[in-house]
A = this chain, B = another copy of it.
Amino acid sequence: MKELQTGWPQNIKKTKPREWVLSVFENAQKPLSAMDICSQVEKNGGSVWLSTVYRILELFVEKGLVIKTTVMNSDMAVYELNRYQHKHYAVCMSCHKIVTMKNCPMEKFVPKLEDDDFHVMGHNLEVYGYCRKCSTK
């Protein structure tokens, strides 16, 4: 049973750096950049090079384990575990704080696309505005 929760994903060779990266994701409360992951791994006592992190992320994305997105007006890519439950965020335009959204507008929504045969696989949504602190400043 325990294996089901923390079990290593199939089709992915187990190595120290990959274990570290995955464990960082499992403890993360928000999407992480490659650098975030790198420094978090080191904070946990491991050691990985940035380029290795990028290769691991590429692999994880390819295997559907992780989702790659970008946060508003930031050129940096961020990654998060694909928990197969939608999760969206609001980003403060002023301080770039990230606030979790608890619901998802796509649940009961069918997009009307110009290509009628477009096969929708998923979506990214991001709300932007001003957080409590910044809107009262």
Contacts and interface: CB of A to CB of B under 8 A. Distances in A.
A1 interface: no
A127 B111 contact: yes
Interface residues of A, number: 42
Interface string A112-126: 111111111111111
B112 A103 contact: yes
Nearest to A117: B132
How many copies the complex holds: the figure is 2
A109 B132 CA distance: 20
A50 B93 CA distance: 25
A90 B103 contact: no
Give me the 10 closest cross-chain CB pairs, A-B, nearest first: A117-B132, A105-B109, A105-B105, A121-B129, A102-B112, A120-B129, A70-B70, A119-B135, A119-B130, A99-B115
